[in-house]
Structure 1
Amino acid sequence: MEIRLPELNRADYERAQKRLDNLTKPRGSLGYLEELAKQYVYITGELFPQLPLKKRVYVFAGDHGVVEEGVSAYPPEVTKQMIYNFLAGGAGINVIARQAGAEVFVVDVGVAGEVQAEGLIKRKVCPGTRNFLKEPAMSREEAQASLEVGFELACQAAEEGVKLLLPGEMGIGNTTPSAAVICALLGEKPEDIVGRGTGIDDEALKRKREVVAQALSRYKFDDPIDVLAKVGGAEIGAIAGLFLGGASKRVPVIIDGFISLAGYTIAQALEPRIKEFVFLGHCSEEKGAALVVKKLGLRPIVDLNLRLGEGTGACLASMIVETALRILTEMATFEDAGVTKGNEFD
């Protein structure tokens, strides 16, 4: 997997700015919607993108050995059960995606055991991770392979005409490796990042923070892929790869929740320019998310107290991005509408 991000042209951003300034409204009066439109044009080079956008959610599924330590409120078999729910169209992301007009693809990148289901994309790199409190979660080869899964699927999506990528995930216990990855890469303390995930009680939260702290003190990390291998997860790696693959093809990717933030953190550590190619869908309610968002200099499109994951926040935000593009492309200019400009244009 060779990461080569294209150079973006500032002139594309300025073309979008010029058009927005000439639409029948006071300059800048649509606020952040205007910024979203400009950023999309900057990433893609398309001043008049075809609407509605072709949007695709990839739900990457994986299991985690660290659940042995009592860090989740749900048993590990729920991962597999939820895969069937996704494929049947009954999960939260399915409902929101139907409203958004987005496709939902489910990918087994690291589920423990075999899952036989029509429509499931099988790209398993490991049968669940190992308990990183006792041994590295994955080998370096497995971690690298998880990145490649996301990268390759993003490139394939671009070839199939997808114009907006929305990363989702399913994996019982995955807020624990996500917190560990974020702490390792950003130098944060577990007590500031580790949260309740699916809703664990105070005792389990204390244990979860201890597990992350002990793991971080146990390992020496050589590089971002080493972090992913030792304390990460297959779906986290796949999400990181999706960011990088989308960027390589000039397809914007919307960051979702806490697990997606962990994947983005890996992608940014591997290629700092990745920030130019993404939007932040929302700021998760999971503890630590707001701190990470601020540290990385990101701005959420929506803030709805979400903490489900699955790509739900990214999918919701995609509708706002699309609305911004309709404003850019469908609103009349002053000249077209025969409307007199205000003195702000003098």
Structure 2
Amino acid sequence: MTDLTHLSRLEDILTLDLPSPDPATIEGARARQAELTKPPGSLGRLEDLAAFVAGWRACARPRIARAQALVFAGNHGICAQGVNPFPQAVTALMVANFEAGGAAINQLCRVAGADLTVVPLDLDRPTQDFTQGPAMTEAECLDALKRGAAAVDPEADVLILGEMGIGNSTISAALALAVCGGAPGDWVGRGTGSDAEGQARKAEVIARGLARHAGLSPLEALAALGGREQAAICGAVLAARMARIPVILDGYICTAAVAPLHGAGAGLLDHCLVGHLSAEPGHARLCAAMGKDPILSLSMALGEGTGAALALGVLRGALACHDGMATFAEAGIG
């Protein structure tokens, strides 16, 4: 992505043929599933997940030797509109907590066997207030995309993505609305603790922002309404696609971050799974619009990549069964 100088150039690239899952490998994985010591289809979605990874990794019996977890953090000018009950200083404090190993995501990555890297993105320089103008210039958006792409380890077997940024539930609702339509209230939730009055304020602010930035392409909306961590997540997703690395997105914030990619081209998120269904009310609507079925539903709404890390455990289980179970012939059955 180092040759990108304009968002329009990125849109051109996204129209080209991108790596796709290998159909022969998927067929081989499905054939193996039919030979394992179990009734056909009895492992349910675990069988689908194993075939999904097999296709993207072009390996009929894939394993996860290297799981990478990336958490991108950014600050947002929209906080000037009073959309969040916590100050932006909390973003940097939470980044320090991640780096010290004290957050939920640290514990869940340890349990799931994922190597965690936290990427703070110019926390001392928030984006602009999107009710007053574009949140990011084209150059700032492209820079964040490139930084997200550069953070991806091309040797990883799976990538899980998370985020941190005070105010980014408002950003997420704005991006979801810009790409999927509806009304601001369809996409607004509690975020980090907004009450009913705070949620109404979010909806009003988002309506003003969308009115100011109407008629934009999905990627232009990413720059106009999004934040650096949202753009970085998009960059990481695209880099993973080029390397045929399956991605597990976290909840509402991560899913909304890649909504511009969904809007920019059918199939751009085919290599992405959604780790869990967030308690944020807009997430179910957004997943339905994208045709994504979250792996878990645990009433979580923390962010940080926590739901994605838990889903990684499920994915590991799916691959362990797929690779390690005996076939009927090996077990001398039948």
Please give the range of the TM-score, normalised by the shorter of the 2 chains. Answer: over 0.9
Match of 1:243 in 2: 237
Match of 1:298 in 2: 292
TM-score by length of 2: 0.93
TM-score by length of 1: 0.90
1:1-346 aligned at under 5 Å gives the runs 1=1, 2-3=13-14, 5-51=18-64, 53-111=65-123, 113=124, 127-154=125-152, 157-158=153-154, 161-340=155-334
**Count of residue correspondences:** 321
Question: Does the Cα contact within 8 Å between 2:262 and 2:290 map onto a contact in 1?
Answer: no
In the TM superposition, residue 267 of structure 1 has moved relative to its aligned partner by: 2.2
CA distance in 1, matches of 2:117, 2:275: 19
Deviation digits for residues 116-175 of structure 1 (CA, Å, limit 9, x no counterpart): xxxxxxxxxxx2111111121110111121111112222xx01xx211101111100101
The 1:219/1:50 distance shift into structure 2, 3 A limit, reads closer
Deviation digits for residues 45-93 of structure 1 (CA, Å, limit 9, x no counterpart): 1122234x31111110100111111111211100010111000000010
CA distance in 2, matches of 1:178, 1:313: 17
**Counterpart secondary structure, 1:133:** coil
**Counterpart secondary structure, 1:242:** helix
In the TM superposition, residue 207 of structure 1 has moved relative to its aligned partner by: 0.6
Question: Does the Cα contact within 8 Å between 2:41 and 2:47 map onto a contact in 1?
Answer: yes
Q: Which amino acid aligns with 2:326?
A: A
**Counterpart secondary structure, 1:16:** helix
Question: Does the Cα contact within 8 Å between 1:143 and 1:225 map onto a contact in 2?
Answer: no
In the TM superposition, residue 180 of structure 1 has moved relative to its aligned partner by: 0.4
Question: Does the Cα contact within 8 Å between 2:189 and 2:282 map onto a contact in 1?
Answer: yes
Question: Does the Cα contact within 8 Å between 1:140 and 1:225 map onto a contact in 2?
Answer: no
In the TM superposition, residue 99 of structure 1 has moved relative to its aligned partner by: 0.5
Q: Which moved more, 1:1-10 or 1:64-73?
A: 1-10
Between the aligned residues of both structures, percent identity stands at: 40
Please identify runs of 4+ aligned residues in structure 1 that moved more than 3 A. none
Q: Which moved more, 1:40-49 or 1:327-336?
A: 40-49
The root-mean-square deviation of aligned C-alpha atoms, in Å, is 1.3
**Counterpart secondary structure, 1:105:** strand
Unaligned runs of 5+ in 1: 114-126, 341-346
CA distance in 2, matches of 1:261, 1:32: 21
**Counterpart secondary structure, 1:106:** strand
Match of 2:9 in 1: none
CA distance in 2, matches of 1:101, 1:221: 43
**Counterpart secondary structure, 1:225:** helix
Question: Does the Cα contact within 8 Å between 1:254 and 1:279 map onto a contact in 2?
Answer: yes
In the TM superposition, residue 222 of structure 1 has moved relative to its aligned partner by: 2.9
Question: Does the Cα contact within 8 Å between 2:53 and 2:62 map onto a contact in 1?
Answer: no
In the TM superposition, residue 202 of structure 1 has moved relative to its aligned partner by: 1.2
**Counterpart secondary structure, 1:13:** helix
